[in-house]
Structure 1
Amino acid sequence: MNPRAEGVQFPSSVDGQADVEFGRVMDAFRDSFADRGPMGAALSVWIDGRQVVDVWGGVTAGNFASQWTATTTTVVFSCTKALLAILAARLVQEGRLDYEAPVAHYWPEFAQAGKEDVLVKHVLAHQAGLSAPRRSVSTDQAISWPFMTELLASQRPLWTPGTAHEYHALTFGWLVGELIRRVSGRSVGDALQEIISQPLNAEIWIGVPPEQSFRVAELLLEEGSETAHAAAGERTPQEPDWGVRSLTLGGAFPVELAGPGTGFNDPRVRAAEIAGAGGIATSRSLAKAMSATVVRTDGVRLLDDAILARATAPVTLGPPAFGRPPPWSKRGLGFQLPSPGRGFLSPRSFGHDGAGGQIAFADPDARLGFAYLTNRLEAGPDGRGASIINALRRVLC
């Protein structure tokens, strides 16, 4: 491939480097800033274990006070679920976790309220019937790992586990994370450091350390977003909107997931292990981790082909338990798979998107890892990441 010195040049608002043949991708990245308010973003692409695109631009705060740099981190929201899927698959690969085993085999307290037969694969595939808490949860309670895991262990499922699926927007993190903790003997944040971040020298955290908190970009909301209107969906305490409650937990978070000093802009939340959505990373590190699932990257291969085949086989598709119009997502064991609602590079790609426009995935055929991250949270259809992926597909195909 062409050396970086021959790469594409960027205007002053966008910085970084890319191999020259990815000019079309750079155009799409630049265009992602058009006709929007204050925004920052970063894009990284790795192929064959080598970074071929590493660019960033915009601002880290709504007052335009600071520029996005190579070291800026941001909340990656549900891209965090791909990291948990990697951790779980790695434990299965090592023979320490079994997708077909009951959750209670590793977490005995989970065998309550009709959950004795819930399997590890049901939790990873959003089939556990615990997509939202039956009782409202406060922010103080949500940042307490013991409180949340005890609450979910004792809760009666919202449907018979294994018979339907519904997106476990936040509870996925405590369910899968507690399995990881029980098997590895480490918190999910520490397991991430041991298995992914440290071997790859990657700046990825679940629970950002205090000394790194100054690098995290402020999350900026689109004015009058469709998501904001969804708050009315909490119908009554007796009949909540379970989709909304999966995001808010009944009071812990705003339905938009962030606001001025609230939600994932709250330093307490960022420091906590909110493993369903609270991962914090640079785009280059997140893309590097995805790359290492399919090809040796900086000497590290996280998963082998056999476990990838198991983890990325389709498990859930079609309408969810509480109804929602299409397009519907397709999922494997923790990983989001290509579907009409979320296109990746090819039918064999796998990864996860995140609230407001975040996208991270790997592709085994292209031997590729990809991450696009932004602090401007768009509601509804968001073409920024899709346009960049389409440009990348045209370059590679």
Structure 2
Amino acid sequence: MSTRIEGSTAPGFASLAEVFSSAFTGHDAMGAALCVRVAGETVVDLWGGIADPRDRSPWTKDTTSVIFSCTKGLVSILAARLVQDGLLDYRTPVATYWPEFAAEGKEEITVADLLAHRSGLSAPRDLLNVEDVIDWDVVTGRLAALQPLWTTGQGHAYHALTHGWLAGEVIRRITGKTVGQYFDELIAAPLQADAWIGLPRGARHQVAHLRAGTSLTALVARQVAARVADEIDWTERAMILGNAFPPELVDATGGFNDPRPSGGAAGSGRHRIGPGAGLDLVIHRGGDRRSAAAGRRHGRRRHATADRRHPDIRRTTPFARWGMGFRLPSLAREFLGAASFGHYGAGGQVAFADTTHQVGFAFLTNLMEAGPDHRATAIVDELRRILRK
């Protein structure tokens, strides 16, 4: 039985509905949303499937979802706006804005190093738990006091969760606002968008329930089987911070199904919330245009690449290319081409902008898969084909 897909597509983009529908094949109880904007016009606005497999409630036009690391793109827009306003300089040491950060030899780590995953703070040395991660000051205090896992300049490794606290604290020190407050002020509120960094209690009923798919559970099982006793898996710790999240990031009520922990934003595909798609909203719906210009001008600046000079310390993201907090096109994720920048999130989320094609793209899903996940990739490939006609 095929999944019912609702929404609309503009002339010339109908094939994207077919590819979106095919993403549900073989994925029981999956929900998802897709939105694509071109030159300020919404050309694809689709949703379908199951928002909560526990009661089979459908994904509707107002369903929101955790977007995981797509949040890094949103926060990077905020950082770029501070650069645009002369309040932040990527080349300046983090400790200039956050003095406590200078501990343990971190005096020379720059904001650019921090945003591009080169700070050596990808995971805590001591285990964190849920109570720790719901307290912003506890985590930022631990990170400020942390000795880096490697020497800055040696390479980079993905700061899966710590990136949010690190970048967010720099923003807080400059603005006096939490990263969620600043995001609401600059982006969400002017656009009247259903998007939050820090989910308000009144919006919890809108959020889709997350579920680990078979490929994700199989990956975790292989990692557990390969684990070496008394040896720290720093990549795993970067993802779960010790005891704060389950290995799959979600379970029935915990992990990112628990509304309390910090670490990700929530938004709806219908409102195009994602790093690049959110930027597209700012550009084309009369939001804060200075923030949009800042993202275009500063966010795509290349800073880190997995190569012989700057290897991936953990060897987990080969050929990754980083801008100022944004992922840039690479073999790992091509997006639409050289003018694209954005991010993807755990389990299958993808959001980006492309300045050549004036595109904002967001794909959200609550069924988390791992490894070669072609659901969003196939949609992006089809969009690329359409735009090249």
TM-score, with normalisation over the residues of structure 2? 0.93
> Percent sequence identity over matched residues?
44
Q: 1:313 maps to what in 2?
A: 301
Change (3 A) 1:151 1:50: same
From 198, 222, 225, the counterpart of 1:229? 222
Is the 1:19–1:52 contact (alpha carbons within 8 Å) kept by the matching residues of 2? yes
SS state of the match for residue 19, structure 2? Answer: helix
Alpha-carbon distance in 1 for matches of 2:156, 2:275: 27
Change (3 A) 1:156 1:46: same
Question: Over the residues paired in the alignment, what is the CA RMSD in angstroms?
Answer: 1.9
Change (3 A) 1:159 1:12: closer
Alpha-carbon distance in 2 for matches of 1:143, 1:229: 30
What code does the residue aligned with 2:269 have? S
From 114, 133, 136, the counterpart of 1:123? 114
From 193, 196, 205, the counterpart of 2:196? 205
1:262 is displaced (CA, Å) by 1.1
Is the 1:227–1:379 contact (alpha carbons within 8 Å) kept by the matching residues of 2? no
Is the 1:196–1:289 contact (alpha carbons within 8 Å) kept by the matching residues of 2? no
SS state of the match for residue 284, structure 2? Answer: coil
Q: 1:3 maps to what in 2?
A: none
- 1:140 equivalenced with 2:131 (yes/no): yes
Tell me the alpha carbon deviations over residues 244-303 of structure 1, each in whole angstroms, 9 at most, x when there is no partner. 10001111111211111110011322xxx32xxx11000133458634636732112254
Alpha-carbon distance in 1 for matches of 2:19, 2:371: 20
Change (3 A) 1:176 1:163: same
Is the 2:327–2:342 contact (alpha carbons within 8 Å) kept by the matching residues of 1? yes
Q: 1:382 maps to what in 2?
A: 373
Change (3 A) 1:162 1:393: same
Q: 1:149 maps to what in 2?
A: 140
SS state of the match for residue 37, structure 2? Answer: strand
1:234 is displaced (CA, Å) by 5.7
1:188 is displaced (CA, Å) by 0.7
1:344 is displaced (CA, Å) by 0.4
Unaligned 5+ runs, structure 1: 1-10
1:365 is displaced (CA, Å) by 0.4
What code does the residue aligned with 1:380 have? G
Is the 1:44–1:287 contact (alpha carbons within 8 Å) kept by the matching residues of 2? no
SS state of the match for residue 293, structure 1? Answer: helix
From 222, 239, 253, the counterpart of 1:247? 239
Q: 1:298 maps to what in 2?
A: 285
Tell me the alpha carbon deviations over residues 95-139 of structure 1, each in whole angstroms, 9 at most, x when there is no partner. 111111110111011110010111111100000000000011111
1:182 is displaced (CA, Å) by 0.5
> Which segment drifts farther, 141-150 or 161-170?
161-170
From 324, 332, 357, the counterpart of 1:333? 324
Change (3 A) 1:95 1:70: same
SS state of the match for residue 78, structure 1? Answer: helix
Alpha-carbon distance in 1 for matches of 2:295, 2:274: 19
Tell me the alpha carbon deviations over residues 16-69 of structure 1, each in whole angstroms, 9 at most, x when there is no partner. 111021111111001101111110000001111221111100001123520000
Is the 2:274–2:352 contact (alpha carbons within 8 Å) kept by the matching residues of 1? no
Tell me the alpha carbon deviations over residues 194-246 of structure 1, each in whole angstroms, 9 at most, x when there is no partner. 11101111111111100000010000111343134324566455x31111100
Q: 2:363 maps to what in 1?
A: 372
Q: 1:22 maps to what in 2?
A: 13
- Aligned pairs (5 A) from 1:336-375: 336-375=327-366
Alpha-carbon distance in 2 for matches of 1:256, 1:292: 27
Alpha-carbon distance in 1 for matches of 2:260, 2:371: 28
Change (3 A) 1:284 1:302: farther
What code does the residue aligned with 2:303 have? V
What code does the residue aligned with 2:283 have? R
Change (3 A) 1:232 1:285: farther
Q: 1:83 maps to what in 2?
A: 74
What code does the residue aligned with 2:279 have? T
Is the 1:291–1:367 contact (alpha carbons within 8 Å) kept by the matching residues of 2? no
- Aligned pairs (5 A) from 1:170-181: 170-181=161-172
From 66, 80, 84, the counterpart of 2:57? 66
SS state of the match for residue 15, structure 2? Answer: helix
